[in-house]
Amino acid sequence: MSLPTQPPAHHGSPLGQSPSAPQAPGGAPQAGRRAPVGTPASVPRTDRHVHGPPHPQPAPARRIADLPPAHTALICVALPGLVISSQEGQLTGQGLEGFYRAGRRVLSRCRLRVAGREPLPVQARMVGADHARFVGTVHASPDAGPDPDVVVERVRSADGTERIRLHNAAPRPLRLPVEVALGADLAELSAIASGDLGPELTASVHDSALRWSGPKGDCAVIADPPPTDALASAGLLRWEVALPPGGTWSLRLRVRPEGAEPLGAVGRAAASPFARARATGDDARVEPFLRTCVEDLQALVLRDPLHPSDTHIAAGAPWRCGPAPAESLAAARMTLPLGTRLAAGTLRILARSQLAGPGLRSGMIPGPRRDAGAHLPPSCTGTEATLLFPVLLAEARRWGLPERETEELLPAAEHCLRWLRTAVGDGVYLPDPQPDGLLRCETQAYAHRAAVLGADLLAACGRPGGEQLRQWAEELRGAFCEEFWVEDRSGGRPAAARTRDGRLVPHLGAGAAHLLDTGLLGAGTPAPGLLDKVRTEQLARLLAGPAMDSGWGLRGLAATETAYNPFGHRGGAVRVPETAVAVAGLAAAGYEKEAGGLLHGMLAAAEAFGYRLPEMFAGEPRWDGGAPLPHPAACRPAATAAAAGVLLLTALVGIRPDAPAGTVTLSPVRSAPLGEIVLRGLRLAGAPFSVRVGRLGLATVEEAADGLQLGV
C-alpha cells in the first residue's frame, strides 16, 4: 500500500456526525489518525467532485506503520462500548488497552496485585463477542512449593464491567492484601492511535468510587464491595481478604462515564435485527462458525441517534466502529437470511444521506475513498454504495421486506438508478466519478447488477424506467466481454480496469469475483451476468488456481503479479468478503468443485482464528500444520467478514426466495462439500425458515411460513 506524504483533507460525514480519518486497510484510516469509536467511517478527500468542499488540512500525522497493532489483542465489542486487552489480562495503559465508550477511553489502566504480586497469566480467551476471560495464578506463600495458592479469574465485558474472582487452592487459610491500580486519560481512540496522548488525570474518591474529571468529560469506577482503603493520588483501591481453604472472594468493578446510562448492546436487545439462526451438520465447525458470526454482527449493531428505531452496522473494531455506507449495505445484503430488519434500517439511514439538488452527484450516497492497491488509484465507495442500494432493496423485497417499507424506500432507489444513467451518459461504461475517471471491472459488475435488479424492482412496483435500464444492461453485456477481456494462451482473464483511451490494466485480483455476483430475480432466477459461459468457466479456473487461492481463501491480487504483497490489503492479502462472494457465485454458476475448495479453506481459516474472522489476513500459501498469518491492521470483528460467514453457509443451501410470489426455490450444492448441513432459525417472508441438505445434496424444507410454496 502506498502512503501519501501529506494526509488528505476530510469532508463532513455522510450521516451528519463528526468527520474522522483517512482510510487504511479494508477502509480503515489510510494515513494519519484512526477514526474514533462510535463515529462514521472516515471520508478522506481525494475527489472534490464527489465529496464537496474540504475541511482545513490536519497537521501532519503518524504513519500507518507506527500505529499500535491490534492482531494480538482481545477485542470485546458491544457498541458503543468496547474494551481492548492484551493476552496478559492486565490493563497497563499501553497501546490500545482500555475500556472505551463512544470513541473515548474511559479507563486506561486496571492492574491487579494479590499478596503483592501480579497474577501469572495462564489463559486468555474470548467467551463471546462482548466479553473475555483471563485466568492467572499467584504464589501467596514463598514456601508453598511449585503449586500456586490462588487462582485468579477475571471476566471483562464491553459493557464496562469487570468481575474478579479469587479462589484459595491451598489447604490452609490465606489472608491476602488485594490492590487494584486504576487510571484514566479520557483520550479519543484517534489520539491514542496517533500517539498524541496527554498524561493520566488525577483521581478523586467519592464513596466507593474513583472519579476522574477533565475538559473532555468525566468518568468513574465503582467497586463492589467497597474498598477498605483508597489512595486517590495513585488511583489505588485496597482490600484485605480472608479466604478459608477452598473459599472464594469476588469483586465487581463498573466503569461508567458520568451521566451515562448503563450500557446495553443494541444487537443483543430484544429488538436485535438478526434471527437466532443455528447450524449443525457432519462438519462440527459449522455450529461455532455461524454462532460466532451472528454474535459479532450483533455486537457491531448501532442505532441512528436521530431515528432510534433504525439500526445499522458498524464496519468493524477497533478502527471503524461507525458505519461505512458500502460495507453496511454489503453486510446487510449478505445477512438477508437472518431477516430484513437490518436491511430496512440501513436503507432508511442512507436514504437520508442521499445527495439531492441539481448536478452530476444528485442521487449519490456519499462514501469515503478506498485505497485500491499499488496498481490502481483509490476507488470511490460512494459509487459502490449508490449501486448497492437498489440491489439490497430489490433482494430484501424477495426475502420478505413488507411492501409498505419497499414503497417508502423506492424513491431513493429510483434516485440511485437515475444517477447511474446520468453518470453513464451516452457511453457504455460507468467511469470513476472524476475527470477522465478509470473504468473499473468490478464497478461495471456493480452497475450491471444494479440495472438488472433495479429494472426488475421498478417493473414489480409499477414504476417507469425499467426498460431503459434493461437496454443499457444489454449494451454493457455485449461490450464487456470483448473490451474487458485480456486474451492469452491460457484462456485469458478479465482486466482489472480500462482507461478512457482503451488501454487495459491486466492485473488479476479478487475484485473479479464480483463478476459472478449477479443477483436474484423473481421466481428464484439468478440474474444474467456480464460474462458468457466460456469466460465464466475460465474465471472459475483462475479463482480456484494457486495464484489466487492461497489455500485459506482468495487473495486480493494474484501471487503471480509483480505488485503482489501477501500483507497488501488489496495487493495480496486474503479478502474474506470477496472469498464468500466467489464461493456463492461459483456455486450458483455450477462450479461446485471450485466453490468447495475455497469454502474448505475459509472454514479452516475461521477455525484458526477462533471462528472470529478478520476482514483480511496474509495471503501466504497454506501448508500442512500451518496457520493463517493475521494482518496487524485488520478489524476483528468486522461486519463484512462476519456477514461473509452467513453467506458461505447459506450458499451451500442455495436459498432463492420470492416472498411476494409466495415461493422459495432451493438450489443446493449437490456435491455436499461439508456433508449434511442443517440451518435452523433463518427468516423468510417474516417467519422462521429451516432447511436441511443431506449428504447426497438433496434439500428439504423443515420449517417455513404458512402458504410458502417450494418452487421448482
| Structural contact between residues 546 and 3, judged by C-beta atoms closer than 8 angstroms | no
pLDDT digits (tens, 9 = 90+) for 215-243: 878 999 999 999 999 999 889 999 999 99
Q: What is the per-residue pLDDT for 712?
A: 63
Percent of the chain topping pLDDT 90: 76
Least confident residue range of 31-40, 74-83, 217-226, 421-430: 31-40
In this prediction, residue 226 carries a pLDDT of 94
**Per-residue pLDDT averaged across 164-181, rounded?**
95
Give first-to-last CA distance, the chain, whole Å. Answer: 48
Report how far residue 560's alpha carbon sits from residue 390's, in angstroms, rounded to the nearest whole number. 36
Report which of 17, 643, 676 is spatially closest to residue 337, judged by C-alpha positions. 643
**Which cell numbers hold the place of 42?**
472516515
pLDDT of residue 212: 94
Q: What is the pLDDT of residues 458-508, one digit of tens each?
A: 999 999 999 999 999 999 999 999 999 999 988 999 999 999 888 999 999
Confidence band for 142, pLDDT divided at 50, 70 and 90: confident
* CB 621 within 8 Å of CB 546: yes
pLDDT tens track for 536-549: 999 999 999 999 99
For CA atoms 188, 194, 198, 202, the dihedral sign is positive
575, 554 contact by CB (below 8 A): yes
The predicted structure's pLDDT at residue 41: 34
d(CA 652, CA 674): 9
Task: Indicate the pTM of the whole model.
Answer: 0.89
- Three-class SS of 194-237: HCCCCCCCCCEEECCEEEEEECCEEEEEEEECCCCEEEHHHCEE
- Please report which confidence band the pLDDT of residue 29 belongs to, taking 50, 70 and 90 as the band edges: very low
Size of the chain, expressed as the number of residues it contains: 712
Residue 260 has pLDDT above 70, yes or no: no
**Which of 31-45, 268-282, 347-361 is least confident?**
31-45
* CA distance to 10, 35, 218, 351, 503, per residue, from 18 (Å): 10, 10, 21, 19, 40
Q: How far is the C-alpha of 546 from the C-alpha of 674, rounded, in Å?
A: 22
Query: Phi, psi (5° rounding) for residue 705?
Result: -65, 150
- In this prediction, residue 44 has a pLDDT band, given cuts at 50, 70 and 90, of very low
Beta-carbon count within 10 A of 309 CB: 11
Sequence letter at residue 69 = P
pLDDT in tens, 194-212: 887 778 899 998 877 899 9
pLDDT in tens, 343-398: 999 999 999 999 998 888 899 999 998 888 888 888 889 999 999 999 999 999 99
Mean predicted lDDT score pLDDT of the chain = 88
Q: Which residue has the higher pLDDT, 40 or 416?
A: 416
Per-residue confidence band for 574, with pLDDT thresholds at 50, 70 and 90: very high
- Per-residue pLDDT tens digits for 412-438: 999 999 999 999 999 999 999 877 789
Strand runs labelled E in 305-349: 307-313
Distance CA 168, CA 174 (A): 7
Q: Is the pLDDT of residue 61 over 70?
A: no
- H or E element in which residue 447 lies: helix 441-460
Question: What pLDDT is recorded for position 264?
Answer: 53
Write the CB contacts of 269 (distance below 8 Å, at least 6 apart in sequence). Answer: none
pLDDT in the model for residue 1: 31
707's grid cell? 402458504
More confident residue, 45 or 389: 389
Cα separation values, 39 from 479, 514, 559, Å: 42, 29, 36
